[in-house]
Chain A
Amino acid sequence: MATQVIMPKFGMAQEDATILRWLKREGDVVEKGDVLLEVQTDKVNMEVESPGSGILRGTLAQEGQVVPVTQVIAYVLEPDEVLPTSDERGTTVVTPTPASPIKSDRRVTPVAQKILAAAGVDPSSVPSASPEQLTRQDAEKFLAQQRMPNDTQSIRATPAARRLAGEKKIDLTLIPGSGPQGRVQARDVVKTPDAPAPKENVLESESLIDEIIPLQGIRRTIANRMQASSQTAPHITFTVKADMTAAYAWRDEMTALAKVEHAPTVSFTALLVKVCAWALMRHRWVNASLHEDGIHLHRAVNIGVAVARTEGLIVPVIHQADRLNLGDITNRLNDLATRAKSNALTPDDVTGGTFTISNLGMFGIDEFTAIINPPESAILAVGRICKCPRVNEQDQIVARPMMKMTLSADHRVMDGAAAALFLRDVVTALEKPTILLW
């Protein structure tokens, strides 16, 4: 029997994924569990395994193509089997599970019935805001969600608008239509700015470009989020220096203990996570998010740690870091770092952060400022530890391992004093780690 290979849903909020590359080709013999292709969500790269054994057929989705989750992207067939026709494939749309249990005697309003019947949708599969009845709004919302995000065919647009959008390389789905029932007309396309001119049209600058990396997946996510954060959140930054002498001693002691315990070595990053988690518990405004209804002060302290990769920055999250001891944090960090490098992070690994630490010390950076990772309200940019002259309490100049840290905070959420107090506690805990036991 033909086994469908569908675009998996890796995370709750995921709607689609980009096909990165097919590792198996049309006609290849595959075993169940073989990796067929790599896909990229807006967060992570994932491998899609073969759901059955047989011959791979119908690999229509191209590399680089964005495919909605649950859509069939290929089939695994028996040797003598033929590919299902496109009609049969068309029926393989998986309807999302209703969010709330549906009452069997739920009323379906006549207009909702009519709308759903016209779309060929069974009302029992449609979630409703009220358990008592399914209204027109529910039906329309459901149908809108069913529509693929980049499916221009289901957009109302005149032929002229389609032609112009094609010529201008503008995504029709992004153009608000001014015609009847929101139909996109030529004038709507005309007043939309052109997409960047295609390569062949810019002969002069073409020679200056070595390669164009399409802005998709993680790169696009980073671009969009950083731009949005930089433009919407008023950043205020605070730089401090911490004397890491005590932290060094403390880490040496921990390392020695780790040997006895046969546990992994504790890193400064692990210590930073622990220190920040402790300080965030004391300064809830730093562990917050700005939303429409107000500022959400988070119950959990979920600390993201930025990890550099060639494909792009990724920020795996240590959830509930305030409840973990250093050993747990170390294990968690090691696990996330390994999986980040091998593209094996799951969307849950990279979501839910409430604060981020970005450490570029290993690259020899003294200090830098970071852009807040929305919807978080603060990010700590950590530089390298280097021996610097410091005046001690006896007014002597001594060489001490110093580390500079810069906190970027969203001024809409917190004032400078709140950020400064948080940062002071971070410095205190690094210089006197014993306070963590307080």
Chain B
Amino acid sequence: MSEPREITYAQAVREALRQAMQRDPQVFLLGEDIGVYGGAFGVTDGLLDEFGSERVRDTPLSEAVIAGTAIGAAVTGMRPVAEIQFMDFITLAMEQLVLQAAKMRYMFGGKARVPMVLRTPAGSGTGAAAQHSESLEAWFVHVPGLKVVMPSTPYDAKGLLLAAIADDNPVIFIEHKLLYKTKGFVPEEYYTLPLATSEIKRKGKDLTLIATSVLVARALEAATQLAQEGIEIEIIDPRTLKPLDTAAMIQSVCKTGKALVVHEAPMTGGFGGEIVAQLCASEAFDFLDAPIRRLAGLDVPIPYNRELEKRAVPQVADIVREARALVRGEY
């Protein structure tokens, strides 16, 4: 195995796409502006030249078409990787994803397989306003038949994307716009990370912090600040929201007695509620030494104003404040 190099999250995703396409001729890409333009965030840059327009297909501006084409191709034996340019517009593909992709295997008595991946960048922080900043992961977690992956690092992004492409079920693969430029060590060769495995991103004893996507990075930064006050928080990234691996977080809460769940999507109806409920119903309950708290986006559309945009979702200072209060019993 070669030495891992430091590459960006976007490069890691591109490398995963390239390696999947190299290994399996059934894998192809489709989406808006992914070919000539290289993708709105440059993720598919260069792949058109490498694999040709048959396998890197620019589509019309119709998310329903993108999703429907991917589903149809998957059912006929291809392994499509579709891109929805902004997660916000997945709303236009909902019927295809929820009623077709998620149901097909079930309704055809197991005879149909839908081995497709739908990649899409979510989240705020780029000044793209309310219609280009959504975090809609909770919608898909709620649909039986879909898997939902939400990686927070370049290493996880590559390994999980390759696992998602190899999976025979429809997978919603949620990237984050702010993560694309973040760097991390990633092995050069092909590897997969099993779906439905969470990871402890930082060890600690005072508080279990469960975070997803870009909030993992903010939580790590908050943890560094809190460590200077002698507060050691343990950070767990579920990585796959569905199926959800709860073992590590339950074990961690049994140890720390306190839990804080952090995500960017609005609090109400957010995925954090599911994590809280699972923890409360587990053996961790008897170890809880404080109410489990959530820190999540405000129940507002993401504002265009940059300052308000920041205020609408949890930032490092918010995590520090909330975690400190929980640990000190000053909640």
A interface residues (Cβ-Cβ under 8 A, vs B): 158-163, 178-180, 183, 185-187
Closest chain B residue, CB of each to CB of A157: B289
Known: A179-B290, A185-B290, A186-B257. A159 touches B285 (CB 8 A): yes
Q: Apart from A158-B290, A183-B329, A186-B289, what are 12 other A-B pairs with CB-CB below 8 Å?
A: A158-B257, A159-B285, A159-B287, A159-B289, A160-B286, A160-B288, A162-B286, A163-B287, A179-B329, A180-B329, A185-B329, A187-B289
A158 touches B331 (CB 8 A): no
**Cβ of B286: which chain A residues have Cβ within 8 Å of it?**
159-160, 162-163
A180 touches B330 (CB 8 A): yes
Chain B residues, CB < 8 A from A163:
286-287
Contact B289 A161 (CB under 8 A): yes
- List CB contacts (< 8 Å) of B112-154 with chain A: none
* Cα–Cα, bound, A163→B287 (Å): 7
State in angstroms the CA–CA spacing of A159 and B284 once bound together. Answer: 9
A162-B287 Cα distance, complex, nearest whole Å: 9
Q: Do residues B288 and A159 form an inter-chain contact, with CB atoms below 8 A?
A: yes
List which B264-302 residues lie within 8 A (CB) of chain A. Answer: 285-290
Cα(A161)–Cα(B288), bound, Å = 8
| Interface CB pairs A-B, < 8 A, 26 | A158-B288, A158-B290, A159-B285, A159-B286, A159-B289, A160-B257, A160-B286, A160-B287, A160-B288, A161-B289, A162-B286, A163-B286, A163-B287, A178-B329, A179-B290, A179-B329, A180-B329, A180-B330, A180-B331, A183-B329, A185-B289, A185-B290, A185-B329, A186-B257, A186-B289, A187-B289
Q: How far is the CA of A183 from the CA of B289 in the complex (A)?
A: 10
Interface positions of B (Cβ within 8 A of A) = 257, 285-290, 329-331
**Chain A residues whose C-beta falls within 8 Å of the C-beta of B287 in the assembled complex:** 159-160, 163
Taking CB atoms, residues of chain A closer than 8 Å to B288 are 158-160
Most chain A beta-carbon neighbours within 10 Å: one of B285, B287, B288, B289: B289
Q: Which residues of B contact A160 (CB under 8 A)?
A: 257, 286-289
A183–B287 Cα distance when bound, in Å, is 15
Nearest-CB residue, chain B, relative to A177: B329
* Beta-carbon nearest neighbor of B256 in chain A: A160
**Residues from chain B with Cβ under 8 Å of A179 in the complex:** 290, 329
Which residue in chain A gives the minimum CB-CB distance to B257? A160
What's the least CB distance linking B236 to chain A, in Å? Answer: 19
Give Cα distance in the complex from A161 to B258, angstroms.
Answer: 12
Shortest 7 CB-CB contacts between residues of A and residues of B: A160-B289, A163-B286, A186-B289, A159-B288, A158-B289, A160-B257, A179-B329
Chain B proximity of A52: nearest CB distance (Å):
44
Q: Inside 8 A of B331's CB, which chain A residues have their CB?
A: 180
List the B side residues contacting A183 at CB < 8 Å: 329
Instruction: Write the chain B residue with the least CB distance to A184.
Output: B289
CA distance A163 to B285 in the complex (A): 10
Compute how far the CA of A180 lies from the CA of B331 in the bound complex, rounded to whole angstroms: 7
Assembly CA distance A185 to B290 (angstroms)? 8
> A180 vs B257: C-alpha distance in the bound complex, in angstroms?
16
Task: Identify the closest chain A residue to B331 (Cβ).
Answer: A180
B15 to chain A, nearest CB (A): 45
Residues of chain B lying within 8 A (CB to CB) of residue A162: 286
Chain B: minimal CB distance from A158 (Å): 5
Query: In the complex, what's the smallest C-beta–C-beta distance from B183 to chain A, in angstroms?
Result: 39
Residues of chain A within 8 A (CB-CB) of B257 are 158, 160, 186
B302 to chain A, nearest CB (A): 32
Report the nearest A residue to B330, measured CB to CB: A180
Q: How far, in Å, is B327 (CB) from chain A's closest CB?
A: 11
Closest to A189 in B: B289
Closest to A158 in B: B289
A187 neighbours in B (Cβ, 8 Å)? 289
Point out the residues of chain A lying under 8 angstroms from B330, CB to CB.
180
A161 to B290, CA, bound (A): 10
Give complex CA distance A179, B330 in Å.
7
Chain A proximity of B278: nearest CB distance (Å): 15
Q: Please, which residues of chain B bring their CB within 8 A of the CB of A158?
A: 257, 288-290
A171 to chain B, nearest CB (A): 18
Please name all residues of chain A whose beta carbon is closer than 8 Å to the beta carbon of B290 when the two chains form the complex.
Answer: 158, 179, 185
Q: Which residues of A contact B329 (CB under 8 A)?
A: 178-180, 183, 185
Q: What residues on A are CB-neighbors of B289 within 8 Å?
A: 158-161, 185-187
Most B-side CB within 10 Å, residue of A158, A161, A185: A158
**B-chain residues with CB within 8 Å of residue A159 when the two chains form the complex:** 285-289
CA of A317 to CA of B289, assembled, Å: 50
Closest Cβ of chain A to B106, distance in Å, is: 38
Complex Cα gap A178–B288 (Å): 15
Cα A161 to Cα B285 with chains together (Å): 11
A189 → chain B closest CB, angstroms: 10
**Please, how many angstroms separate the alpha-carbon atoms of A162 and B285 in the complex?**
11
Name which of B285, B288, B330, B331 has the most chain A CB atoms within 10 A of its CB. Answer: B288
Give the Cβ gap from A420 to chain B, nearest Cβ, in Å.
57
Chain A residue with the shortest CB-CB distance to B254: A160
Residues of chain B contacted by A161 (CB below 8 angstroms): 289
Can you name the residue of chain A whose Cβ is closest to the Cβ of B253? A160
Interchain CA distance A186-B206 in the complex, whole Å: 12
Q: A184 CB to closest chain B CB, in angstroms?
A: 10
Query: Please, which residues of chain B bring their CB within 8 A of the CB of A186?
Result: 257, 289
Chain B residue, CB-CB nearest to A159: B288
Bound: A274/B289 CA distance, A? 62
Q: Which residue of B lies closest to A162 (CB)?
A: B286
Q: Which residue of A lies closest to B290 (CB)?
A: A158
CB of B197 to closest CB in A, whole Å: 27
Query: Nearest A residue to B280 by beta-carbon distance?
Result: A159
Bound state CA distance, A183 and B285, in angstroms?
16
| Whole-angstrom distance between the Cβ of A230 and the nearest chain B Cβ | 39
A181 CB to nearest chain B CB (Å)? 11
Contacts of A185 in B (CB 8 A): 289-290, 329
**Shortest CB distance A382–B (Å):** 57
Cα distance A185–B288 when bound, in Å? 9
Q: What is the distance, in angstroms, from B221's C-beta to the closest C-beta of chain A?
A: 27
Task: Quote the shortest CB–CB distance from A180 to chain B (angstroms).
Answer: 6
Chain B's closest residue to A185 (CB) is B289
Closest CB-CB distance, A152 to chain B, in whole Å?
Answer: 15
A350 to B257, CA, bound (A): 49
Nearest A-chain residue to B291, judged by Cβ:
A158
With CB as the reference atom, state the residue of chain B lying closest to A183.
B329
- Within the complex, the shortest CB–CB distance from A262 to chain B, in Å, comes to 72
* CA gap between A220 and B257 in the complex, in Å: 36
Task: State in angstroms the CA–CA spacing of A187 and B329 once bound together.
Answer: 10
Whole-angstrom distance between the alpha carbons of A185 and B331 in the complex?
13
